[in-house]
Amino acid sequence: MISKPEKTNIFLKRISDEMYKIGIGSLPIVAITALFIGAVTTVQTAYQLVSGLISKSVIGTIVSDSTMLELGPTITCLVLSGKVGAHIASEIGNMRISEQIDALDVMGINAPAYLALPKIIAGIIMIPLLNFIAITLSIYGGYMAGELSGILTHQEFVSGARETFKGFTLVFSTIKAFTFAFIITSVSSYQGYYTSGGALGVGESSTRAVVFSSVLVLFFDYLLAEILL
Amino acid sequence: MIELKQVNKSFEGRQVLHDINAVFYSGKNNLIIGASGGGKSVMMKCMVGLERPDTGMIEFDGRNLLALEDQALRDVRREIGMLFQGTALFDSLTVEQNVAFPLEMFSKMNASERRDRVNFCLKRVNLENVNNKYPSEISGGMKKRVGIARAIALDIKYLFCDEPNSGLDPITSRLIDELINEITHEYGITNVINSHDMKTVFDIGDHIIFLYKGQKWWEGNREDLKHAQTQIKELDQFIKASYFE
């Protein structure tokens, strides 16, 4: 389905355009989601941590570890499967129903390579970067919520976060982000490419893209945890 | 010249094209006419490679499209331009970028040469000062002209026009017909037009093929058409119905 692109310079330009759309375009929603997820995790962990025998620094540990292991990559990618996935499927789907893909085919251009491949490559570059940003902001959000509400001090949060930090946690998080990025962009491109039936079809393929990529993200989330942890 | 030999195509058991044998001549407007659902669009899609016939041969100056290797097929496709019914302009690109698109993909021109070629093509279709507009910002007739400019940007040998007048007012329709006619004769292109606009047929139809229920029912030139109308009931019905559309 996907073969060598016709012209390398056009291909690279398309990748950089897609990187901008996927990366910069998704930054606000990823940042907002991450900040609040971190803040809520701190507040809820503190709420459940009723025993006076457990140090409050545990909250920092839980927030940072759960953010890196799960909340960062998985929540970010579920949000992105909605934002990026729907966008990709509707963009390609609209090109399908308005004969723009037929025009590429008639010109002898490999349409999947021209349309889908730059999005997939851009996704697997930018989504892991967004994951790093989400992790940073989520931990910061957790720290700010703890500090502002007086749940725990700066020292307690930081020492808790540092205490159990393992480099592999971050590696695992990045592997997840790469995998999810490929799922979101490829599933959405596929759904868009095989759109049929006019405007209604575009809506249906966008919905399918979001649903299928979200379910696959959750499935691979479990699978990767089973295999790698 | 394009030649179809015993082309058959069916979808889910329903035969859409029956043993089509047809020749489309260089430097002529070859029109495929017939009612909706008669097989015109499928026939054109088979000819440009968007559909694959079940059996038969489609030869572009002796090269059988269905038997070519990938590279040879791509070479033939680069000699093909197509004006789509809905124009199929890339809506994320400006008019200039749309026309430049095939040049960027397939030519070795530098940016300045590409710009000159784009301006030449846009001028040839009587469009100026629209280079930086997006397809959504121009009229239907202008979109058709941009579609023609994009189709002729590379030195094409074959031009396919799918319902070039659809959605246009009568005056703009005639302008598009004139333009297609001029370009066809000027560049000696093998032009294949799908149409059910009888004004187009009588104005520019050099060679006409009438499809009826997926079969070639009649072929000839526009002078023969009026005579044939009196002889062939289905053709007569189609022509009369076209005037009342």
Asked if A100 and B90 come within 8 Å (Cβ–Cβ), the reply is yes
Asked if B91 and A106 come within 8 Å (Cβ–Cβ), the reply is no
Chain A residues touching B88 at Cβ < 8 A:
98-100, 102-103
A10 touching chain B per CB within 8 A: yes
Per-residue CA distances from A50 to A43, A54, A131, A161 (Å): 12, 8, 31, 20
Helix residue ranges per DSSP H, chain A: 8-19, 25-48, 57-66, 76-97, 100-106, 111-148, 154-163, 167-193, 198-228
Q: Is the pLDDT of residue B245 over 70?
A: no
**Chain B residue at shortest CA distance from A7:** B105
Mean pLDDT across chain B: 90
- Residue B32 bridge partners (DSSP): B194, B209
Which segments in chain A show pLDDT lower than 70?
1-3, 50
Structural domains of chain B in order of their starting residue, each with its CATH number: 2-79+156-243 (3.40.50.300)
Place of tokens 């009229």: B139
| Nearest of B3, B44, B32 to residue B205 by alpha carbon | B32
B49 touching chain A per CB within 8 A: yes
| Nearest of A229, A218, A124, A131 to residue A179 by alpha carbon | A124
Burial grade of A70 (CB within 10 A; 0-12, 13-18, 19 or more)? middle
- Residue B4 bridge partners (DSSP): B22, B58
Per-residue CA distances from B111 to B91, B108, B150 (Å): 21, 10, 16
CB of A81 within 8 A of CB of A214? yes
pLDDT tens, B6-65?
999 999 889 999 999 999 999 999 999 988 888 999 999 999 999 999 999 999 999 999
List CB contacts of B184: < 8 A, sequence separation 6 or more.
B27, B28, B29, B159, B191
Question: Which of A3, A20, A94, A100 is the best mutation test for B, with the most CBs of B within 10 A?
Answer: A100
Asked if A105 and B86 come within 8 Å (Cβ–Cβ), the reply is no
| Per-residue confidence (pLDDT) for residue B197, from 0 to 100 | 85
Q: Is the pLDDT of residue B244 over 60?
A: no
| Per-residue confidence (pLDDT) for residue B234, from 0 to 100 | 80
| Per-residue confidence (pLDDT) for residue B38, from 0 to 100 | 86
Question: Which of B73, B105, B152 is the best mutation test for A, with the most CBs of A within 10 A?
Answer: B105
Burial grade of A135 (CB within 10 A; 0-12, 13-18, 19 or more)? buried
Interface confidence: ipTM more than 0.95: no
Burial grade of B149 (CB within 10 A; 0-12, 13-18, 19 or more)? buried
pLDDT tens, B87-101?
999 999 999 999 999
CB of B152 within 8 A of CB of B183? yes
| Per-residue confidence (pLDDT) for residue B23, from 0 to 100 | 95
pLDDT tens, B174-200?
889 999 999 999 989 999 999 888 888
| Per-residue confidence (pLDDT) for residue A16, from 0 to 100 | 97
Q: What is the pTM of this model?
A: 0.88
CA distance A4 to A73: 31
| Per-residue confidence (pLDDT) for residue A29, from 0 to 100 | 96
| Per-residue confidence (pLDDT) for residue B237, from 0 to 100 | 82
